[in-house]
Amino acid sequence: MGAVRRVLLLMTASSYKAGAFLEAAQRRGIEVTVGGDRPQALAGLNPAGHLTLDFADPEGATRAVLEHATRHPLHAVVAADDDGTLLAAAAAAGLGLPHHPLEAVRAAGDKLLTRTRLAAARLPAPWFEAIAPGAEPEPLAARHRYPCVLKPRALAASRGVMRADDPAGFVAAYRRLERLLARGDAEIAGPRSAWRPPRDRGMLVEGYIPGAEVALEGLLTRGALRTLALFDKPDPLEGPFFEETLYVQPSRLGSATRHAVVAAVASGVKALGLVHGPIHAELRLAPGGPFVLEIAARSIGGLCSRALRFGGGASLEELILEHALGADLAGLDPDAGASGVMMIPIPAAGRLVEVRGTTEARAVPGIEELRLAVLPGQAVEPPPEGGRYLGFLFARGPTPGEVEAALREAHRRLVIDIESVVIADTAGKEST
């Protein structure tokens, strides 16, 4: 019987990716200790299998992890989502395990720190300025250049990101973002986390960068970047909001542009100080070359990783877990062909009644899977306030063009029925 390989998997109850990581561990024979934000009723039957942690208190949670490891040794620490990345870095450092450094993870999770570090490294970057909570937007609007983009420093999934084309648009976007950040943490992103403490309502304004967007999925091993996938985002992301929909790979960009994207990401991770573990990078292809928008110290979000397979069927989560444990990943290259995912957008705020046409959507040639993430009766909200997707469509085919066409056709066949409801925000105002 081989030696036990145990990974601490950090994830909140709201994580999309819990199932994918747990399935990957089971396939690979890896023992998992789940570090979660809620106690488990059966945790006492397997003390090594669960650890309840306060994600809003990284220092206290790290002490709990280190104490737990004295009784149940841990060989790697992996965060499923943004909520656990800071704690994962701190815990790995305390255990002496390879991981991205804590300060690098902190910089990657803060849009202002990211911009500051990229600019200090003289990498292509837009002009930017931090906006303190409570600032009056009218004087700011009068002196900024347009178009520009307002965004929160710490929210993910394009939440709260808005384009302004003139001073009036700036003030309107500022007020809207201010209301979003005033909403409670639980309403914004599930359980309280180190990334989004209620007191952190800072904003960032930066110049708008024209051009298409791409996303790079990678693994860093002691500073060396391995590109796992380069996704095109075929739908234009020009504002006023920036909801992502389609990811298709391999990229249809020319060879020179692809190399420039990889080089930009390699420079970006170096500037941030990321060195070991998964990364997910977003870039704009401006006329002068790629601009790094952000680099997250975790893998691709939502269920999007299901669009990727390696070495004849291994999942992205399998690669991440094996990499964290120091395994040799030679031969686990991306499978041949093309694949993609559509993050099904929410067309309006309200309450989901039903989604019709699912059988017809699944019947589209090339469609592998349709997963709905919202149940009938649940409240839904589109960007910039909303941070969830209705569900995910997955497709595979010989070429990226065929994959994109299949995803669009499947989405066309869905009929999404949402009833309007009255929602009261924290200021007592009502909206529909």
For the chain, give percent helix, strand, coil, nearest 5: 30, 25, 40
User: Where are the domains positioned within the chain?
Assistant: 6-106, 127-207, 337-432
Q: What is the DSSP string of 303-327?
A: TGGGG--BTTTB-HHHHHHHHHTT-
- Structure confidence by residue, pLDDT tens digits, 203-223: 999 999 999 999 999 999 999
Flag whether the pTM goes above 0.85. yes
Q: Which fold has domain 127-207?
A: Dna Ligase; domain 1 (3.30.1490)
pLDDT of residue 223: 96
CATH of 337-432, picked from 3.90.1150.10, 3.90.1170.50, 3.40.228.10, 3.20.20.10, is 3.90.1170.50
What does pLDDT average to over the chain? 90
> DSSP string spanning 111-151?
HHHHHHHHHHTT-----EEEE-TT--HHHHHHHS-SSEEEE
- The whole-number average pLDDT for the span 125-149 is 94
Is the pLDDT at 323 greater than 70? The verdict is yes
Neighbouring-strand partners of residue 163: 149
Whether residue 420 is predicted with pLDDT greater than 70 in this model: the reply is yes
Q: pLDDT, tens digit, for every residue of 380-404?
A: 999 999 888 999 999 999 999 999 9
Cα separation of 406 and 363, whole Å? 10
pLDDT at residue 166, as a whole number = 98
Pick the CATH number of 6-106 from 3.30.960.10, 3.40.50.2300, 2.60.40.10, 3.40.50.20: 3.40.50.20
The per-residue pLDDT for range 231-290, each reduced to its tens digit, is: 999 999 999 999 999 999 999 999 999 999 999 999 999 999 999 999 999 999 999 999
Q: What is the pLDDT of residue 273?
A: 98
Question: Which of 261-270, 329-338, 417-426 is most confident?
Answer: 261-270
pLDDT of residue 15: 84
